[in-house]
Structure 1
Amino acid sequence: MSKSAAIFCLLSIFAETNKRMAITVEKFTFNPFQENTFVVHDGSVCVIIDPGCYFAEEGEQLVRFIDENGLKPEAVLLTHAHLDHIFGCDYISKHYGIDAYMHEKDLFTLDLAERSATAYGIPGVVRPETPNKLLQGNEVLKFGEMEFEVLFTPGHCVGHVVYVNRSEDFVINGDVLFAGSYGRVDLPGGDMATLKTSIFDVMFKLPDTMVVYSGHGPETTIGQEKLTNYILQS
């Protein structure tokens, strides 16, 4: 093989490897709370994070996207168990026969699902089944070409976690940080001092360039929030 042919071959392998490694984050905004559900995939396998599909057409939209793109679901990941983030947990996990992951401390929040639905006037909500994979924090989860570091970030609720993908420089952050703001702490299990610790000692230690995908609203970055987030004034 000539030198130029060898170089071309190596470049082709490199390009194909990069193509396989590329990770896509697809966002869907669902339910009366306008919650962001994420399908994260490497072009082959996917995970569904915080499936908030409440209406039948929302669940159908999520399944249609997964199936039409030829993706193989491997897990449901929950950042936390507030009502708006778990509406579709049972539907998706049972439809695809996949594991569901959640921090063990948020069983407390999960148990409040039906009571919360009643308080918000949302009918037809039954407590989802307990996820079969309970987390403690600091795990590394691998699905296909994707790797997520699980960081424990309580404060918005007692068992909140975020899922960090360092190779692609993003975090699925649930309701810890929002663009310019932060998660509420006036629901059962919420605590402002604990949330501030999670933000300053965990989230703000992540790279400034890291993209933050929040449970509500638009994306932001760690660097932007370190400069402008309202938590800095509280």
Structure 2
Amino acid sequence: MSALSPAQARRHIRSGDWSVTTAGLANGFAQTNLVAIPAAFADDFLRFCMANRACCPILDVTQPGDPIPHSLGKGIDLRTDLPRYRVYIDGLMSEEVTDVSAFWRDDLVSFSIGCSFSFEEALLADGVPLRHVEQGSVVPMYRSTIPLVASGPFGGSAVVSMRPMPPAAAIRAIQITSDMPSVHGAPLHIARPDLIGIDDLMQPDFGDPPTMEENDIAVFWGCGVTPQAALMSARIPFALTHAPGYMLITDIPNHKLKYR
């Protein structure tokens, strides 16, 4: 499945043949997080993302009601082309589904947000170990106390993803991801999880618990689940998002995201 083209991968997802995490699927191409919200809140959310780019790097914004992210590839439909979605009502997740066609509204503005899967490919190509990839698990994600810049009803604190690695690998990871700001860029924090409000690395808020090896340090990046936390805090009437780890596969090659 890693050798599939993006269009082939999306067809598998749309038909229901692929229902697990999209990590490693259609290698070489960018994947995105999704947030779709009523147009009345879109301007505030856009400003929120622009002010907090490390967590919410926008790659595409649609016109109200349009489920097609035209800049991300051909034939993409945001209603069907992610393996799993979440539906939020008044800030609370009401259900997870594999197709949101029945929930779609003509006032929804969709934001496609850069995903760490893109920089993970660059890390792996350079020999930086990524234990969750080796184990086939979902990267651990945590609610932190790192403050966000608020806009309208959207604010709160950053959600961060964590990858354990030896110190030398962590230095190299910082160098590589600093060149990729449209897919979260450099880490927000390294080591000392207690300094950003994380008491137990074995109890992530999203994803799977990490495997820590001797001499590992924890490296934390801004995470695309941050908008979901902001949506829950804002308690807007309705929203659709991806489920963590279940992304949209685009036609954009990862190498084109450097310095973008």
Alignment TM-score, normalising by the size of structure 2: 0.24
> Which has more helix, going by share of residues?
1
Alignment TM-score, normalising by the size of structure 1: 0.26
